[in-house]
Structure 1
Amino acid sequence: MFDKAFKRVNTFVDFRTDLVEGNSKRAREELEQERTKKQKADDHKETAELQSLIEVILDEEEIAIDVVPLATKPPTIVDWKIHKEGKRSYYQIVRADGKSQMYKVFSQMLKSISREDLEDLYKLVKAKYKSTRQVEELDLFLWGDLKTMFEPHVEDQVWKNQQDYKVLDWNLYESCGVHSFRMKHVYIHMLVEKRYPLMPSTITDMLNKKLQIDYESEMAYQLLKLLTK
């Protein structure tokens, strides 16, 4: 009996210890819950602020001739040409299977090609531009758009003349990860993850015009976060 009693004494734990530990655990849980609630509130506020800079525009126009659905990855782009029909000229994109697509303007092309397509086209146009003399106006436009996108330089006229124009609209092309804004007679196309020599006034104009998208996406939010830092 003595041994049993002695063992109970030696193994005794004060109930107040359990009480203190219980209160401490509850306090930690409540603090963690408060932090989670605050984070959710902050995230909701940030999302609401970013949503105010977005405008969803449903474009029902046909954006290209013989468009290949993006769900099926098309063959690699192997060439490009300027195709003429009467007084109209089109960009003709030729793929490895011999099929081609035609676009009136570069922005229409951006709506249906992938980033991989865009990079392949850039390499092709760059190689051709450096080895031959361009005679077609669309050639120069295409090379200028791609060079501005992939090889931005602060001394380029397109960046130096920003103060002379106002942003008229701003669009995101989700399929290839490009966003573009239009000023008077000028389009500037940019990769969403790349920083460009944009003036603060230009960024303000872009945000005031709102980013026009076909649907809300994480890419749109990441782009807005990059520009509003």
Structure 2
Amino acid sequence: MDTEDKEKGTKKKSGGTRKKTLSRKRAGEKKSEESSNRQKNEDALAEYEQEKAELRLWLKVGGKDYEVYKLTRADGSASHHGNIQAFLRRLDREDLNLRMIFDPDEKDDTWMNQLDWKVLKWKLHENCRVYTLFMDGTPMQINMLVEKKYPLIKDLLEKMLNLQLEAEEESTMAFELLKFIKSQIEEQ
């Protein structure tokens, strides 16, 4: 009987040890999984920061410039506005070709003459989700919606990046616009 008791005791002890071993193993797996997840998050964050550092090369953050936006109507009347928001509020459907802005056509004269454009700078107006190309030698400015893809040629897109996007501050919208322009260059 003594031997049976010892065997039972041994079995009980080993059974208890097995449970403890499984419990430790599960805890180790959980810690390993948490560590793996933490590492993945750190890697993703590092990759995001690296991408932002690259995009900053094409971003110029500065104070507000004072620009005057002139709206000349077909009837010859004109109005001047101190900021893009006021300018956009005053626009009527007759003031612009909405089809061109919302459904750009590569065959339209505006888009056909891109090689002639002498872009001085491009600026993001974040609060109205518009960016503007400022041209040299003409009073022409092209205002484009951030979320819309326009038929811009590769040479112009590259020039835009080299000129750097002007923004009041670093923002998700500025980085997303730069990534979008960069992806358009890679597509062409």
TM-score, normalization by structure 2: 0.74
Q: 1:178·1:190 contact (CA, 8 Å) conserved in 2?
A: yes
Q: Supply the distance in 2 between the matched residues of 1:49 and 1:217 (Cα, whole angstroms).
A: 14
Deviation at 1:227, TM superposition (A): 1.5
Equivalent in the alignment of 1:43: 48
Deviation at 1:152, TM superposition (A): 1.5
For structure 1, list consecutive stretches of 5 or more residues without a partner in the other structure: 65-79, 83-87, 92-102, 130-141
Write the letter of the residue equivalent to 1:54: L
Q: Secondary structure at the residue paired with 1:35?
A: helix
- Alignment CA distance shift 1:150-1:197 (3 Å): same
Q: 1:113·1:176 contact (CA, 8 Å) conserved in 2?
A: no
Equivalent in the alignment of 1:139: none
- Alignment CA distance shift 1:182-1:28 (3 Å): same
Of 152, 155, 160, 1:201 maps to 155
* Structure (1 or 2) with the larger CA radius of gyration: 2
Decide which structure has greater helix share.
2
Q: 1:169·1:209 contact (CA, 8 Å) conserved in 2?
A: yes
- Alignment CA distance shift 1:59-1:147 (3 Å): farther
- Alignment CA distance shift 1:157-1:170 (3 Å): same
Structure 1 residues 93-112: aligned runs within 5 Å: 103=80, 108-112=82-86
Q: Supply the distance in 1 between the matched residues of 2:114 and 2:30 (Cα, whole angstroms).
A: 58
Post-superposition CA distance 1:152-194 (Å, at most 9, x none): 2111111111123342210111232111112342422110000
How much identity, in percent, do the aligned residues show?
A: 29
Post-superposition CA distance 1:28-53 (Å, at most 9, x none): 12211110110110111111122221
In the alignment, is residue 175 of structure 1 matched against residue 127 of structure 2?
A: yes
Q: Supply the distance in 1 between the matched residues of 2:60 and 2:129 (Cα, whole angstroms).
A: 17
Q: Supply the distance in 1 between the matched residues of 2:127 and 2:25 (Cα, whole angstroms).
A: 57
Deviates more, 1:35-44 or 1:151-160: 151-160
Equivalent in the alignment of 1:21: 26
Of 112, 118, 121, 1:160 maps to 112
Q: 1:171·1:213 contact (CA, 8 Å) conserved in 2?
A: yes
Write the letter of the residue equivalent to 2:178: L
Deviation at 1:10, TM superposition (A): 10
- Alignment CA distance shift 1:205-1:193 (3 Å): same
Q: How many residues align?
A: 171
Q: Secondary structure at the residue paired with 2:127?
A: coil
In the alignment, is residue 32 of structure 1 matched against residue 37 of structure 2?
A: yes
User: What is the aligned-residue RMSD (CA, Å)?
Assistant: 3.3
Q: Supply the distance in 1 between the matched residues of 2:22 and 2:179 (Cα, whole angstroms).
A: 49
Deviation at 1:13, TM superposition (A): 5.0
Equivalent in the alignment of 1:211: 165
- Alignment CA distance shift 1:62-1:194 (3 Å): closer
Deviation at 1:24, TM superposition (A): 1.6
Q: Supply the distance in 1 between the matched residues of 2:107 and 2:67 (Cα, whole angstroms).
A: 37
In the alignment, is residue 12 of structure 1 matched against residue 16 of structure 2?
A: yes
Equivalent in the alignment of 1:143: 96
- Alignment CA distance shift 1:53-1:199 (3 Å): same
- Alignment CA distance shift 1:56-1:90 (3 Å): farther
Deviation at 1:208, TM superposition (A): 0.7
Post-superposition CA distance 1:196-218 (Å, at most 9, x none): 11111111111110111122222
